[in-house]
Amino acid sequence: MKGAQMIMIQPVNTLSKPELEKQLSELCRQYEDVKGKGLKLNMARGKPAASQLDLSMDMLQLPADCTLEDGTDARNYGILDGISECRKLFADLLGLKAEQIIIGGNASLNTMFDTLASLFLFGTQGHKPWSQLKYEGHTPKFLCPVPGYDRHFTMCEELGVEMIPVPLLEDGPDMEVVTELAAKDEDIKGMWCVPVHSNPQGVCYSDKTVRALAAMETAADDFRIFWDNAYAIHHIYEEKTVLNIIEECEKAGHPDRPYFFFSTSKITFPGAGVSLISSSDANIRELKGHMAAQTIGHDKLNQLRHVQFFKTPENIRRHMEKLAGELRPKFDMVLESLDKELKGSGLLKWHSPKGGYFVSVDTLPGCAKRTVQLAKEAGVTLTGAGATWPYGKDPEDRNIRIAPSFPTIDELEKAVEIFILCVKIAGIEKLLEG
């Protein structure tokens, strides 16, 4: 690291109490120095940097022509499931079928919420509405691989879905746990999955995992996988492909199990992108039925704006390479700094992602909250400790999600330096307590 001279941490288990105390005292001195600088840095949310957004600015001059290829005027009412050129573009990009895609509004989060809400209000494929369960003494439950995405958990909490954490391993959710739970409890109605570059660890599901998810028997006939493919093409170091969940579920005889979500929030503009949902023919038909009461159609001019800007899947991939070029130095900095300052220290474990938006780290047990608090007091905002767990409760208080994308590289350098300092202080404090 440039800047302040950092103390190199030896493996903490080799240090005596006086040695730890000495280190802590020096670290605290450095911390007080940093605190005095009155910094204001943010590594909390997975927000693209302004430099990434600049790459899509030409899109704001579009659409140049509002007539669709079938002659329809895209400026007027209509087209419930989205313009066909947009459905086709994303079908080709993601290996989906255009007729199994509904283009949604400006964010897949909203599409997920609406889908979950429709299961509560109407049920699916003839099964009873999930809202009915609670009046019959049951509670719908979801399996939640952890650590996971806080907004998935918020959605469940809002709708009264009980969340059951299941471990996320190197190749996806722990399928021994998942299959056992799903098979025995008919109140387990679904599961969250971020199959590519997962939020926050950057895990990509193996073929074996995807096939197991598609094939497993579930006690609930209306068990649904919410397949949030938010980072499907968001590679930074390595291109990763994951099996097509819709095809695998169809092959396994559970065609209606998956809802596949995707959006351009982290491709063009967060909040001004387009989202999509894909599923079986029967589910798409059902969703369109409900949607027909909810809307005349989503923003076709924004769909067309995206189609005219990208034109082809290849152009989208090229655009993603440029975005990766913006992100890579930032991820390099975080990962190299962690390596240099904390590798072998015994104070922090982390997963090196190949893409996505985050670096997930685990402190010593009981140190995540303290680390985040220390960082906050020194002017560095991190995602709240616990946010990656259902109900915000990380049972071991270990996981922290680092989001390196938004700050500039200079800001990030300072923020990471402070973060590392805080990890060390919180860790050594804990060791001295014990």
List residues near its own copies by CB under 8 A. Answer: 45, 47-48, 50, 53, 60-63, 66, 73, 75-78, 105-107, 109-110, 113-114, 117, 120-122, 129, 131-132, 135-136, 151, 154-155, 157-159, 265, 269-272, 290, 292-302
Nearer to its own copies, 31 or 226 (CB): 226
Nearer to its own copies, 30 or 265 (CB): 265
Nearer to its own copies, 114 or 411 (CB): 114
CA dist., res. 280 & res. 275, Å (int): 17
CA dist., res. 310 & res. 319, Å (int): 9
Nearer to its own copies, 38 or 64 (CB): 64
Output the smallest distance, CB 151 to its own copies, in A.
8
Residue 133 CA: distances (Å) to CA of 142, 186, 330, 333: 14, 11, 47, 49
CA dist., res. 243 & res. 224, Å (int): 17
Report yes or no: 309 and 59 within 8 Å, Cβ to Cβ: yes
| Largest CA-CA distance found in the chain, in angstroms, rounded | 79
Output the smallest distance, CB 31 to its own copies, in A.
30
Output the smallest distance, CB 269 to its own copies, in A.
5
Nearer to its own copies, 9 or 107 (CB): 107
CA distance between the termini of the chain: 30
Nearer to its own copies, 67 or 352 (CB): 67
Output the smallest distance, CB 300 to its own copies, in A.
5
Output the smallest distance, CB 411 to its own copies, in A.
15
Evaluated on CA atoms 249, 253, 259, 264, the torsion sign reads positive
Output the smallest distance, CB 206 to its own copies, in A.
31
Residue among 193, 189, 219, 217 at smallest CA distance from 124: 189
Output the smallest distance, CB 127 to its own copies, in A.
16
Peptide bond into 200 cis (omega under 30): yes
200 Cβ contact list (under 8 Å, min separation 6): 147, 148, 149, 358, 359, 360, 383, 388, 399, 401, 402
Nearer to its own copies, 12 or 161 (CB): 161
